[in-house]
Structure 1
Amino acid sequence: MQSLDRKFSLWTLAWPVFIEVLLQTMLGTVDTIMVSRISDDAVAVVGFSGQLFGALTTLFMTIAGGAGILIAQRIGSQRREDARTLAVMAITTSTAIGLLISFLLFSEARSIAKLLGLSAELLPLADTYISYVGGGMFLAAMTAALGTAIRNTGNTRGPMYTGIVINVVHIFLNYGLIFGKLGMPEWGLFGVTVSDNSCRLLSVVILLYMFRHSFERTIRLRDYLRFDVKLFKEILRIGWPMGVNMSCWVFSQLAIYSFIALLGSKELAARTYMNTLESFCFMLGYAFALAVQIRIAYLYGEGRTREAYSAAYRAMGLGLLLVMANALLLFALGRPMLGLFTSDPEIVAMGVSLLGLNLILQPGKMLNMALGNALNAVGDTRFTMFVSIGSLGIIATLCSYGFGIGLGWGLIGIYACMIADEYVRGALSLWRWRGRKYLNRAAAPHAVPHSGSSALSAG
């Protein structure tokens, strides 16, 4: 039991997640710098497409995310065979959803870009990028599901080591295929798509090997044919509100990108560059928020509700300190860092103006991430779903259009609405967590049943 406690401790879970997210952030930064050498239009297309891919990712992350929480809960309650079955079903279902998404994006890339309002001059680039990167979304689905399952067994180091390998390979492939270096063809933006899909495939191979040995019994090929209806209903019960929650966020971001696209390609490029820089601010906070979700789910499954309750505040406090330190550093170094991406003074000026607002945004984001993940970990996913529907729909999306486009406040108006949304969702999550509704239920005898019925049926 002590070894499991150490395995599921906050720091043990958090630091590999941080390294993994740091590497992903650095890769994204290098990616953006390399793509910016093609053109600012190419950067705008990559940023715009990223929002589209994020929106569609929620379809398979609904399954993977719900299963991940249940895996940690089952391990906490010593029901490891259930955890193993949940993990296998998450992989197979997510892969099937990913294949459908891949077919849609590969066959209808230009139509989708037009539907989302991308300007005519960007359509040829979007056609290339969306069709080929989108065509490999089933690999992204497999990677996400495998990584989530492995992390929720308490092994956050495995995905981190995989991330190290993939990042190194990705940088070399990008450099070679974009610019025609290292004996590779000069393919520009198409080279980015080849690099992305090659690295996704390598990631799947490594994680599949790791996944086979993540449980007491090795996972065999025939295990992927197993389907437990009762357990799958549990995944859906906890997962579909998480899916709606994630969908609200990514679709609001997609809408916001569409609004920014109305302002012009320079504004779109500035927001894409800011997305890259902002990721350095919250990556530590995100690591603690993801780690505390796994830890609280484990403690909740074991019935240790007092420890679960205090774990959320500990993660939030540490995250706030680290996030603000990063935000202040970024504010001090923002102008020269923006200069790494573009020499356009107008884009740099827009980016610098957003860096000050970022100091206000990041504490609200940390509050929202930590407490929202804590609620999800105990199965209170419907509450976070309803909060997201209201706040993201009204404040983040409708108000962004009203202030940014309708009143002509531009990027500043849109950013102000994003800040308000984070604080509203964070404050409501804090209020809900302090009520301890689900924790009080779990504290009762037999709160987590030992049958196939849902541990979260009250949700």
Structure 2
Amino acid sequence: MNSRPVNYQKQTLFKITWPIFIEIALRMAMGIIATLMLGRFSDAAAAGVGVGNQLLSFFILVFNVTSIGATILIGQNLGAKQFHHADQIAHSVFFMNFWFGIMISIIVVLFGEHFLGLFQLKGTIFQDGRLFIHICGASLFLESLSLAMSAILRSHGFTKEVMIITVLMDLISVLGNIVATNGPLGLPVTGVSGVAWAMVVARLFAVTILFLVIWRKLNIRFSYKDCYHARRKDIRDLLSIGIPSAGEMLSYQLSQLIITALVVRIGSDTLAARVYIMNITMICYLFSVSVAQGTELMIARYIGGRQSQQAYKRGIKTVLIAVSSSILVSLIVACSGTFILGLFTTTSAIISIGIPILWINLVTEPGRAINIVLMGALKSAGDVRFPVVIGVISMWSIAVGLSYLLGIHFGLGLIGIWLAQGADEWFRGLFALKRWQSQPWKHLQSFVLCKTISK
């Protein structure tokens, strides 16, 4: 339990971030490749799985309640050199995610069809979406354990190990997708079913390897006893940080589900275009998400070690890096829009809907970069409620409200919806910037708690 990564406090942002970047890139690639292959197989299958994936992503965010709390608390305890307590938190987050995962898996399997029915999908799109969420939903408990163990490893500085596991997991998934949609060597083409089962196998592999890595690197051994026991104080601390922290993301996913329902009202081509565009634009904010996560780990340690000025400077520097990269990548994607969309579909109506959206996205991404970096930084510094309050207000009044007004009422379609989402990102990003500049952790209870722990 006393084994620790060498010089974990002295790691640079680059050293922490590059494995996170590759890991997130591969996670995104898994979804993009699945969508790409299904788009070639059938636009209906791609749309159905896209909606199903969005629904599952909402439930997966429940697991982030404890995973986010674990990342922050373990990081702060490492910064304060409270290694034994950091290990106790690791066992507690395993306990909580085990039961969260079991409960959510049961709910999705039993009621997934009814959840999907809320989108008023019809025909083949509904059937493909239902098949996908039934198979993948049953394996959500594996995703829950994977997120918990990945958070533990990242908090200790083992971002490279998590990246390698993700690489292998994605290779399994991609190979499964190829078999499912192309049927090489005379194998049957299983389509949506095969893509879903490939994801299940990949998750099972990841959980198994994560168990072994945590055992070898941290000397932390999870057992069946961890499924029955956790310290009540750890549970309270994890939830007190995790619920507000994950609340912003839960609100975002729920608002996106509502916006998807609005898109369904416009038409199937628009729905397919949105699914493809959402996958493409992941590339634009990939780097922002990566450096944001690396920055969160560093800031948690700075706050735990009472180095508030270093935490502030790190946040500002990361914002400048993230904004610059998002503008550059978004410009490249917009200029290559016809080619990129052509990889997903040959339907000209879908391509014509998507091209203007990629140019609008060029304006959206800088605001998203500020939002992603500083909202995460505020959580790591202990300011966990502000992102939720601003997020809920903005997502529902601007993202959802303006999407309906521009996209449906004024008939601007997907263009109106994307303009509304851009306004939401900028609104939250600018508020987060103003909040960060005020350095709120100097007056927060969590900062006082960190000083108490370090004594």
- What TM-score, normalized to structure 2? 0.94
Deviation at 1:309, TM superposition (A): 0.6
Q: State the 1:179 CA deviation.
A: 2.5
Amino acid in structure 2 at the alignment position of 1:123: F
Q: CA deviation at 1:396?
A: 0.7
1:80 match: 83
Q: Which residue of structure 1 lines up, in the alignment, with residue 442 of structure 2?
A: 439
SS in structure 1 at match of 2:336: helix
Percent same amino acid at aligned positions?
Answer: 28
| Alignment pair present for 1:4 and 2:13 | no
Alpha-carbon separation, structure 2, partners of 1:112 and 1:261: 15
**Aligned residue identity for 1:116:** F
TM-aligned CA deviation for residue 326 of structure 1? 0.8
Extract unaligned runs of 5+ from structure 1: none
Distance 1:443 1:352 in 2: 46
Matched, 1:267 2:270: yes
Q: Whole-Å Cα distance in 1 between the matches of residues 61 and 6 of structure 2?
A: 35
**Residue 411 in 1 paired to residue 429 in 2?**
no
The C-alpha deviation readout for 1:200-252, integer Å capped at 9, x for no partner, is: 1001111111122343x432426624411112111111111112211110001
Task: Please identify runs of 4+ aligned residues in structure 1 that moved more than 3 A.
Answer: 182-185, 439-447
1:208-247 superposed matches below 5 A = 208-215=211-218, 217-221=219-223, 224=226, 225-247=228-250
2:98 is the alignment partner of 1:65: no
Query: Whole-Å Cα distance in 1 between the matches of residues 240 and 217 of structure 2?
Result: 25
Residue 199 of structure 1 corresponds to: 202
60 and 74 in structure 1: CA distance in 2 versus 1, 3 angstrom threshold:
same
In structure 2, relative to structure 1, the CA distance for the partners of 1:444 and 1:184 (3 Å cut) is: closer
Task: Note the aligned Cα RMSD (angstroms).
Answer: 2.0
Unaligned runs of 5+ in 2: none
Letter in 1 for 2:8: L
Q: For structure 1, which segment, 300-309 or 24-33, has the greater mean C-alpha deviation from structure 2 after superposition?
A: 24-33
| 1:338 partner amino acid | L
2:308 pairs with 305, 313, 317, which one?
A: 305
Alignment of 1:92 with 2:95, yes or no, is yes
CA displacement at 1:185 relative to structure 2: 3.4
| Residue in 2 that maps onto 1:348 | 351
- Counterparts of residues 47-62 of structure 1 (less than 5 Å): 47-62=50-65
The one-letter code sitting in structure 2 at the alignment partner of 1:4 is Y
Q: How does 1:33-432 map to 2 (within 5 A)?
A: 33-182=36-185, 184-215=187-218, 217-221=219-223, 224=226, 225-432=228-435
CA contact (8 A) 2:382 2:446 kept: no
**In structure 2, what residue type is equivalent to 1:410?**
G
Q: Is the 8 A contact 2:382 2:447 kept in 1?
A: no
Structure 2 distance, partners of 1:326, 1:111, is 39
Question: Is this contact kept in 1: 2:9–2:301, CA < 8 A?
Answer: no
Q: Partner letter of residue 385 of structure 2?
A: R
Task: Measure, in 1, the Cα distance between the counterparts of 2:31 and 2:133.
Answer: 17
* Cα displacement (A) at 1:4: 2.3
Displacement of 1:407 in angstroms is 1.8
Deviates more, 1:269-278 or 1:172-181: 172-181
CA distance in 2, matches of 1:447, 1:47: 42
Q: Distance in 1 between matches of 2:421 and 2:379?
A: 22
Q: Which AA in structure 2 matches 1:234? A: D
1:22 equivalenced with 2:6 (yes/no): no
Q: Note if contact 2:52-2:130 (Cα within 8 Å) is conserved in structure 1.
A: no
Alpha carbons of 1:450 and 1:222: their partners in 2 closer, same or farther (altered >3 Å)? Answer: farther
Partner secondary structure for residue 118 of structure 1: coil
- Give the distance between the partners of 1:444 and 1:400, measured in 2 at CA: 39
Q: Is the 8 A contact 1:91 1:146 kept in 2?
A: yes
Distance 2:414 2:421 in 1: 11
Comparing 359-368 with 25-34, greater Cα deviation is found at 25-34
Report deviation, 1:443. Answer: 11
**Deviation for aligned residue 1:178:** 2.7
Instruction: Supply the AA of the counterpart residue of 1:221.
Output: S
Contact kept, 8 Å, 1:261 with 1:267, in 2: the verdict is: yes
Helix, strand or coil for the counterpart of 1:449? helix
TM-score w.r.t. structure 1 length? 0.94
Q: Distance in 2 between matches of 1:47 and 1:418?
A: 19
Instruction: Summarize the Cα distance change of 1:44–1:229 in structure 2 as closer, same or farther, 3 Å threshold.
Output: same
The answer to which of 178-187 and 279-288 deviates more is: 178-187
- Single out whichever of 319-328 and 182-191 deviates more from structure 2: 182-191
Q: Deviations over 1:50-106 (max 9, x none)?
A: 211111112111111111111111110001111111122112211211111111222
* Alpha-carbon distance, 1:25 to partner: 2.6
Check 1:68–1:56 CA distance in 2 against 1; reply closer, same or farther (3 A cut).
same
Deviates more, 1:221-230 or 1:334-343: 221-230
Number of residue pairs aligned between Structure 1 and Structure 2: 450
